[in-house]
């Protein structure tokens, strides 16, 4: 157990310092740094407790009891501000931390009016002044963790559409890692629920300390969150990002883009994609393509959705796939990856994923298909 705590504390605090000194920090970076600091302090407190230091220094007892209430709100705020071009928290965001404040206020008399011996007795369960409160607090923490995980997952699904509607290559802003992390957080709280039910309600005795499971999972979450969070690219760094409304006829009827102009610009768009091949630029965005046509990005998005029935990402990658097929049919001295990179893709994994999505098979299977050769 000691090594788990040591690794977790070191990684959390190291990543806190790393994020704090990151050049051009965004608000999500700051939120992530605060989260790393919270986890580092929480793990340190748990480690001190496991080593028996609360008996020696009883005034440390309960100092980090409300800390689990930080996890859900920080997860939500990190995702929310990764896809919103804000530089500071809104006033209403602080309401997410009311459970933390409320817990500290309720425990005020414990912190400042209980003697050292009374605190030891409370920690041992001899004094039951906080027994009901502890049970309510535990349930509230679990509900908070599960509820925020579910809400964060829904929020991420909405922003996934935003990314696909603005970027042709999404590798640096890929959200799969974040979704996995959300499920990981939810799994930690779910594990806590299972252990509590089996141990406290069903009377099951574990041959080991189940806390080992929780903290091992938390350390794993720290590793993934720190690595991918630092690597994660803020989508607002260099690009104008357009919020995409739900595609309905009524939405387009309210648009300032008239039908005649929309058709004209769509024709120009298809001509542009064939003649100038802007999709060969792996960093092509909705904003940069709109500049070619001299129209606002949200109008271009409407045109692609309305006439192509695709989002921006699928629309551009469709041309890249066809470009690859055309080049691969003529060039023999380059590898598929080399041809893919020349066709506008920025990595092998992205190319394979996109190709299979559009053609239903792998590039090698498609290029060697007798039916394709015959056509």
Residue range 272-309, pLDDT digits in tens: 999 999 999 988 989 889 988 888 888 898 899 989 98
The pLDDT value given to residue 367: 84
The pLDDT value given to residue 113: 92
- pLDDT(76) > 50: yes
Q: Of 254-258, 296-300, 313-317, give the lowest mean pLDDT range.
A: 254-258
Q: How confident is the model at residue 174 (pLDDT cuts 50, 70, 90)?
A: low
- pLDDT(229) > 80: no
Are 45 and 5 in contact by the 8 Å Cβ rule? The answer is no
- pLDDT(331) > 80: no
The pLDDT value given to residue 63: 92
- pLDDT(219) > 60: yes
The pLDDT value given to residue 237: 47
DSSP assignment of 280-301, as one string?
A: GSTT-BHHHHHHHHTS-HHHHH
DSSP assignment of 248-281, as one string?
A: -HHHHHTSSS-HHHHHHHHHHHHHHHHHT-GGGS
Query: What domains are there in the chain, each with its CATH number?
Result: 2-231 (1.20.1070), 249-374 (1.10.10.60)
The CA-to-CA distance between both ends of the chain, in Å, stands at: 64
- pLDDT(252) > 90: no
pLDDT over 90 for what percent of the chain? 29
What span, in angstroms and rounded, lies between the C-alpha atoms of 145 and 152?
Answer: 10
Query: What is the token pair recorded at 181?
Result: 């992390």
Encode pLDDT of 237-248 as tens digits. Answer: 444 555 554 454
The pLDDT value given to residue 372: 58
The pLDDT value given to residue 155: 85
- pLDDT(47) > 70: yes
Are 232 and 156 in contact by the 8 Å Cβ rule? The answer is no
The whole-number average pLDDT for the span 331-352 is: 87
The whole-number average pLDDT for the span 210-238 is: 69
The pLDDT value given to residue 85: 72
The pLDDT value given to residue 79: 84
Are 161 and 305 in contact by the 8 Å Cβ rule? The answer is no
What span, in angstroms and rounded, lies between the C-alpha atoms of 219 and 5?
Answer: 8
- pLDDT(196) > 60: yes
């Amino acid at each position: 157990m000691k090594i788990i705590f040591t690794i977790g504390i070191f990684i959390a605090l190291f990543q806190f310092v790393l994020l704090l000194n990151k050049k051009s920090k965004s608000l999500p970076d700051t939120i992530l740094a605060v989260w790393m600091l919270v986890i580092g302090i929480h793990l340190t407190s748990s480690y001190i407790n496991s080593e028996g230091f609360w008996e020696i220094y009883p005034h440390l007892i309960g100092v980090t009891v409300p800390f689990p209430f930080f996890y859900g709100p920080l997860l939500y705020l990190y995702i929310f501000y990764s896809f919103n071009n804000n530089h500071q928290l809104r006033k209403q965001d602080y309401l997410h931390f009311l459970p933390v404040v409320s817990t500290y206020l309720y425990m005020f008399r414990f912190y400042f009016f209980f003697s050292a011996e009374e605190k030891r007795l409370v920690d041992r369960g001899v004094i039951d002044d906080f027994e009901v409160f502890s049970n309510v607090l535990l349930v509230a923490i679990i509900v908070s963790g599960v509820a925020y995980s579910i809400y964060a997952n829904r929020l991420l699904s909405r922003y996934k559409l935003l990314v696909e509607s603005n970027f042709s290559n999404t590798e640096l802003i890929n959200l799969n890692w974040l979704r996995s992390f959300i499920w990981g957080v939810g799994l930690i709280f779910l594990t806590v629920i299972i252990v509590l039910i089996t141990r406290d309600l069903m009377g099951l005795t574990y041959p080991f300390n189940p806390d080992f499971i929780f903290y091992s999972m938390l350390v794993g979450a720290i590793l993934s969150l720190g690595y991918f969070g630092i690597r994660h690219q803020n989508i607002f760094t260099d690009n104008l990002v357009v919020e995409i409304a739900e595609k309905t006829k009524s939405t387009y009827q309210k648009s300032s883009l008239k039908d005649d102009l929309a058709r004209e610009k769509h024709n120009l768009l298809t001509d542009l994609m064939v003649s100038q091949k802007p999709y060969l630029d792996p960093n092509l965005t909705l904003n940069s393509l709109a500049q070619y046509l001299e129209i606002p990005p949200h109008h271009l998005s409407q045109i692609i959705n309305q006439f192509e029935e695709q989002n921006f990402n699928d629309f551009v990658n469709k041309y890249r796939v066809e470009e690859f097929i055309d080049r691969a049919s003529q060039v023999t001295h380059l590898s598929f990856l080399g041809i893919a990179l020349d066709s506008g893709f920025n990595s092998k994994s992205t190319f394979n994923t996109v190709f299979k999505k559009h053609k239903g098979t792998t590039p090698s299977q498609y290029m060697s298909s007798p039916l394709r050769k015959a056509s």
